[in-house]
Amino acid sequence: MRFAQPEYLYALGLVPLLIIFYIFRFRQKAKALNRLGNPELLAKLSRTTSIGRQKLKAGLMVCSMICCLVALARPQFGTKIETIKRQGFEIIVALDVSNSMLAEDVKPNRLMRAKHAIRSLMAQLQGDRIGLVVFAGAAFLQCPMTSDYSALELFLDGVDTETVGTQGTAISEALQTAMKAFQKNRQEHKIVVLLTDGEDHQDDPVAAARELSSQGIRVYAVGIGTPFGEPIPIKNLGGRVSGHKRDEAGSVVMSRLDENTLQQIAMETEGTYYRSTLGEDEIQAIYDDITELEKTEFESKEYTQYEERYQYILAFALFFFILDTLINDRKAIKTPWMGRFE
């Protein structure tokens, strides 16, 4: 047994005061009657008055008050244990934030297009958990797995090409960082959505994809950019393009979408490769594919629910009140028939 609002029980401290009030009232009434005259004469004159009934009515009112206060405290009896299970998908988004993502072969640029695609994916999630890995020449977990999409939105807003200090495109490290972000004891489907232009000049991302595949992780790769390529702009402090990135020979560097690498990554993990489109049809296709997979039970909680029983206490209060109303504090006196002319 427990009380949902036990603060009302403190009011029970007023009950003794009410009892003392009734006792004082009855004593004062008795003293007042004694001062009026002979007690025997007064008893004959007030034969209909019943002190016992008055005390009974006072007791009923006290009982009614006690029941009302206990009912307000909402007594709860018994327990009913409910297990609440949350199911959904666990998704890690790996976002390329290297300088090549500033290329404007897709508008407004590759990075802005990729961030908008992530927001479109988040808009379709329904209680699923999602995390964010950002990478350039290195990779790190920007936002751990969460179902708080507004928190992820804040992390995403703060991401730019300066988020990672080391430049480059370490897709392999990004995939490994994403793999570590999942809980190891889960065997259900794990999803990585990779958004990049695919230019990896450091490691072997396909080998990293094989490692993810062995862990049951499926990679959906989204290529941001065009195969024809675009120079990487260099902007001044005012945000205007002041030139383009050049190699050691002084030639303008052309950043091209490496679809072949991304296709191999997706194929190794039984995922799918998509090229980014203006209508973001690839995001819808990815989510449709994900929803056909088995959902992960990533949270299970037991809640103890108590049954409300204040109704019964309130019924007793009503019973005492009605009984007090029905009882007359005066007793009926039968007068014997003395005859017509007596």
For residues 291 and 335, give the distance between their C-alpha atoms in angstroms, rounded to a whole number: 91
Nearest-10 Cα torsion for 161, 163, 169, 173: -160
pTM value surpassing 0.75:
no
Confidence of residue 44 (pLDDT cuts 50, 70, 90): low
CA 195 to each of CA 102, 152, 212: distance values in angstroms, whole numbers, following the listed order: 14, 16, 16
> pLDDT tens for residues 50-92?
677 777 888 888 888 888 888 888 888 766 666 666 677 889 9
Nearest to 174 by CA among 166, 184, 162, 186: 166
> pLDDT tens for residues 206-247?
999 999 999 889 999 999 999 988 888 877 776 676 777 777
**Tokens for 308?**
């409300």
For residues 324 and 61, give the distance between their C-alpha atoms in angstroms, rounded to a whole number: 7
For residues 220 and 253, give the distance between their C-alpha atoms in angstroms, rounded to a whole number: 28
For residues 139 and 168, give the distance between their C-alpha atoms in angstroms, rounded to a whole number: 10
How do the domains of the chain map onto residue ranges? 2-80+307-326, 90-294
CB distance 153 to 125 below 8 Å: no
90-294: CATH class: alpha beta
